[in-house]
């Protein structure tokens, strides 16, 4: 909105970070009170409304949270249409709102479709606020409509994890370069530390993907621990390995299609141990190592904690970005039209409502 609000950005980010911690603590409270998913949404919305009301009129605070809800529900509806389950919206004061997908899209076309849902429905919500502002001649509603259009426009920047960065996957990944350069100009104009952090993370991700890791397979690792009962082995007089013991374990890997998740099954025959490790992303497994043991012995029982390390390289699905040319044109034209409509609506609100920006 006004220039003075831009100067508050750093302070708001710190306030938002503090409230994020409260929300994380609030998750435990919600579990204790058995609020469920709807309770979590209401709880985080109430926290956000209260936080915004410390700075803005309560009507504006309520309105901005409702507009964020409409935006996120756009993603929810789009994901449901594609048969992908998502979490309930979580509101983070001064940082916005978010949903998480329980399954990843199978292709860039699906990812872009879901990304479009937010700014499309969010823009319709902001248009409704503008009509109400015109009907009631309300300065608060005019300001709210302007901010609603502005937030949806900013979300269209071709920068991950913003919606525009996900839409760009189905149009052209060259748009990421536009976002890298143009996004920096927007940050300078807004003087926003929050957008600078988003831009910096995006820039580093592009560096890793297209420069650092372009010509070499980077080996990553994931750790997992298992508690294995060995009392029966000890009673049989078996020689148990010491804490510094290291070895490679035989393994097999498989995927559950309904979960779209990869698992690694490991085995240590002499320890009578079989374990399953869930992978954070799809990968080509190099080896599974035992990386130390922890003996846990009591008068009643004897266990050994086995620390396993899975080494792997990420699997890049090149077909993910194979989008038909006709779909690229449709997404590209829709992307440009939506951005143009939002800019036009911001100008209209500014003219009719006499908004100072």
Is residue 105 scored above 70 in pLDDT?
yes
Pairing of β 273-278 and β 90-92 = unpaired
**Residue partners of 145: CB distance under 8 A and separation at least 6:** 126, 127, 129, 130, 133, 345, 349, 353
Mean pLDDT, all residues of the chain: 84
- Stretch 142-147: mean pLDDT: 94
**Residue 25: pLDDT band with limits 50, 70, 90:** very low
- Stretch 228-243: mean pLDDT: 88
**Residue 37: pLDDT band with limits 50, 70, 90:** low
Is residue 67 scored above 50 in pLDDT?
yes
* 3-state percent helix, strand, coil for the chain, nearest multiple of 5: 55, 20, 25
Report the number of secondary-structure helices (H) and strands (E) in the chain: 11, 9
- Stretch 328-343: mean pLDDT: 95
Neighbouring-strand partners of residue 302: 297
Q: Give the whole-angstrom CA distance, residue 184 versus residue 173.
A: 18
- Cα of 356 vs its chain's centroid, Å: 33
Q: Give the whole-angstrom CA distance, residue 56 versus residue 45.
A: 16
Q: Give the whole-angstrom CA distance, residue 38 versus residue 22.
A: 18
pLDDT at 263: 94
- Stretch 95-100: mean pLDDT: 82
pLDDT at 299: 80
Residue percentage of the chain with pLDDT more than 90:
46
- Stretch 26-39: mean pLDDT: 49
Asked whether the CA dihedral 100, 104, 107, 110 is positive or negative, the reply is: negative
3-state secondary structure of 88: coil
Q: Give the whole-angstrom CA distance, residue 37 versus residue 105.
A: 23
Is residue 90 scored above 90 in pLDDT?
no
Of 247, 249, 253, residue with least CA distance to 267: 249
More confident residue, 125 or 41: 125
Is residue 128 scored above 60 in pLDDT?
yes
Query: Which DSSP string do the residues of 135-184 spell out, in sequence order?
Result: HHT-HHHHHHHHHHHHHHHHTTSS-TTSHHHHHHHHH-TTHHHHHHHHHH
The model carries a pTM of 0.70
């Amino acid at each position: 909105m006004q220039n003075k609000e831009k100067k508050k950005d750093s302070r708001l980010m710190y306030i938002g970070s503090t409230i994020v911690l409260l929300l994380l603590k609030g998750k435990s409270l919600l579990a204790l009170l058995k609020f469920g998913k709807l309770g979590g949404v209401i709880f985080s919305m109430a926290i956000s409304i209260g936080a915004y009301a410390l700075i803005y009129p309560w009507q504006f605070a309520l309105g901005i949270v409702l507009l964020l809800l409409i935006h996120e529900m756009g993603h929810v509806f789009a994901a449901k249409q594609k048969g992908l389950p998502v979490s309930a919206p979580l509101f983070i004061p001064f940082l916005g709102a978010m949903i998480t997908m329980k399954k990843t899209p199978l292709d860039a076309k699906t990812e872009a479709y879901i990304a479009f849902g937010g700014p499309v429905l969010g823009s319709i919500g902001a248009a409704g606020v503008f009509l109400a502002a015109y009907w009631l001649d309300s300065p608060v509603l005019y300001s709210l409509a302007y901010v609603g259009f502005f937030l949806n426009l900013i979300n269209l920047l071709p920068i991950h994890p913003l919606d525009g960065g996900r839409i760009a996957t189905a149009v052209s990944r060259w748009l990421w370069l536009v976002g890298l350069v143009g996004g920096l100009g927007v940050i300078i104009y807004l003087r926003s530390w929050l957008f600078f952090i988003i831009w910096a993370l995006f820039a580093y991700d592009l560096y890793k993907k297209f420069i650092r890791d372009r010509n070499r397979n980077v080996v990553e690792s994931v750790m997992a621990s298992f508690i294995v009962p060995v009392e029966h082995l000890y009673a049989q007089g078996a020689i148990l390995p010491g804490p510094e013991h290291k070895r490679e374990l035989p393994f097999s890997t498989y995927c559950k299609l309904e979960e779209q998740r990869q698992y690694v099954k490991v085995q240590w025959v002499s320890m009578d141990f079989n374990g399953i490790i869930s992978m954070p992303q799809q990968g080509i497994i190099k080896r599974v190592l035992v990386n130390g043991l922890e003996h846990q012995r009591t008068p009643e029982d004897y266990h050994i904690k086995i620390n396993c390390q899975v080494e792997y390289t990420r699997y890049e699905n090149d077909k993910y970005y194979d989008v038909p040319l006709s779909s690229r044109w449709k997404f590209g034209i829709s992307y440009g039209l939506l951005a143009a409509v939002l800019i036009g609506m911001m100008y209209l609100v500014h003219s009719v409502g006499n908004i100072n920006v």
